[in-house]
Amino acid sequence: MPVTYIQAINQAMQEEMARDENVMLLGEDVGILGGAFKASEGLLERFGSERVLDTPISEALIVGAGVGLAIQGMRPILEMQFIDFIACGFDQIVNMAATLRYRHGGQTSCPIVIRGPCGAGVHGGVYHSQNPEAWFFHVPGLKVVAPATAHDAKGLLKAAIRDDDPVIYLEHKFLYRRIKEDLPEGDHVVPIGKAALRKEGRDLTVITYGSPVHAVMKAARDMASEVDIEVIDLRTLLPYDWKTIRESVTKTGKVLIIHEARLTGGIGGEIAARIAGDLFEYLDGPVMRLASKDTHNAFAGPMEEYIIPNQEKVTEAIRKLAAY
Tell me the residue type at 151.
Answer: H
* Smallest distance from another protein to CB 169, Å: 16
Omega before 239 within 30 of 0, i.e. cis: yes
* Smallest distance from another protein to CB 293, Å: 32
Nearer to another protein, 60 or 303 (CB): 60
Is residue 128 annotated as part of the catalytic site, yes or no? yes
Nearer to another protein, 80 or 150 (CB): 80
Applying CB under 8 A, the residues found at the interface with another protein are 50-51, 55-56, 58, 60-61, 63-74, 76, 91-92, 95-96, 99, 101-111, 140-141, 143, 163-165, 192-193, 239, 241-244, 246
Instruction: Please check whether residue 75 is in contact with residue 22, taking contact to mean a CB–CB distance below 8 angstroms.
Output: yes
* Smallest distance from another protein to CB 32, Å: 14
| C-alpha pair distances (Å), 139 with each of 14, 104, 135, 264 | 30, 17, 8, 17
Beta bridge partners of 292: 262
The catalytic position among 128, 172, 214, 259 is 128
Beta bridge partners of 106: none
| 100-106: Cβ within 8 A, 24+ apart | 100/67, 100/71, 100/141, 100/166, 101/141, 101/165, 102/140, 102/141
Residues recognised as catalytic:
128
